[in-house]
Structure 1
């Protein structure tokens, strides 16, 4: 439950930050009457994300066992790419995201006709990015967990993000966004490393990767995967109680350079989204 909650909280805060910047700028420039158009773009982006997620889930249910393992591996690899790009994109874009959104809004209104359509398209692509990122991660997370805990955690994350976004918009909540995105970014990279290791395992179970399958160590007697703590660590970090050489190599080869690059000082300096507490 914790991992889907955290991912959806971060994705939701990113989306809420984008929507908040758009709404504030429209209000400041006397264009507040266009907010219903913004909501159309948001709802279309959410509809696309739900449709993609439902289609992929329906497709996977029809696959035979080995094909399901391959599908799980592919979704896991896509999720790793998406999560990693999300973390590094926000690290880079945080400094200029507000100015870029303002420029996009102004560009949409510079068109003599179809101002509403231009605004819808701009909002749609801004929010759809977050939604589609969430879809691929949640598919990977749901495939590695049973029961209602993961969907419930995702729902709670969305609700918490909405509350935080609204608090930031009305100016009643101050949040150090730089610190928030930094530490959730570290956690997400650890999650991505675990998903990558499990994707390698799924490729083996699908019969496509049979190299380096020697078990490095066996923790099944001390911390079995089906124990409460083992299940928690598996859901959070992709813990495997009997990892093979290929799974461990994939984890280490990903997480070490990813953390070094992410935690290294940014040459661009501190991002302008270091804190947020006002809708403007």
Structure 2
């Protein structure tokens, strides 16, 4: 278990469920929309025989994502002391880099993703079942890998609790239900607004994971300035209060950040939120307002 996580205490159950649940809902809907587009295309093309290969590819991708999460998470949790801090810090930084790249990529690719998937499926059907399986595997695996890495960083601050995983699974289950309802036409969601708000949330979560990673590497001795605090409001900060559990459990905010930790958090948040929220130009495709309308 992380020294930093143990020192700050595990967030409340409700906070752990809410944070990881929203991550699961966001990432589950992204993956669900991908599967919905592929299945709808096959049904409309009268190629229902190929649907089973899509589901097989999805199953393999889910297994790969679960294995990735378990290997990284349990690999870091078996370490003790400074080695645990260094491993957790490196894992957190890697997660932040990949999650940031994927969030910014989705902002640009949202409109064209449906056409790209349909075009890819047309070619895969010509090649055969293995190509259909591979297309589904890589399309869903890309979203799942983002989820696994984000959850590794998020789970580092929960003192070994299983509640983040439960929250993630509940969020994914809700996403699956919403995806089916969207496919059946029973529910229509403003996907552009949904992914804008949840994408901004993921950026804020990633900023907290970055801050955690920097502090862990400082504790492990790989980064300097572990004793150089930017400020310390511990005397006025109640970690057990509602705001303490929210800020600490979801956003990884500490009352006593180091200068390097706080600087990394602030610079990342300003730059990445600017890149994510800046107005979309005509040369840059805008997210679709309702992904269910394109299937």
TM-score range for the pair, normalised by the shorter chain length: over 0.9
What are the within-5 Å matches in structure 2 for residues 1-280 of structure 1?
Answer: 1-111=17-127, 115-146=128-159, 147-211=161-225, 213-267=227-281, 268=283, 271=286, 273-278=288-293, 280=295
Give the CA deviation at 1:249: 0.4
Give the CA deviation at 1:58: 3.0
1:102-139 Cα distance to aligned partner (Å, 9 max, x none)? 1100111222xxx1001001110111111111111111
CA distance in 2 between counterparts of 1:279 and 1:156 reads 27
CA distance in 2 between counterparts of 1:81 and 1:226 reads 31
TM-score of the superposed pair, with normalisation by structure 1:
0.93
CA distance in 2 between counterparts of 1:96 and 1:249 reads 36
Give the CA deviation at 1:269: 5.6
**Counterpart for residue 10 of structure 2:** none
CA distance in 2 between counterparts of 1:226 and 1:8 reads 25
Unpaired runs of 5+ in structure 1?
Answer: none
TM-score of the superposed pair, with normalisation by structure 2:
0.89
Unpaired runs of 5+ in structure 2?
Answer: 1-16
What is the RMSD of the two structures over their aligned residues, measured on CA atoms?
1.7
1:208-256 Cα distance to aligned partner (Å, 9 max, x none)? 1123742222221111435453232112111011111111100111111
Note if contact 2:99-2:150 (Cα within 8 Å) is conserved in structure 1: yes
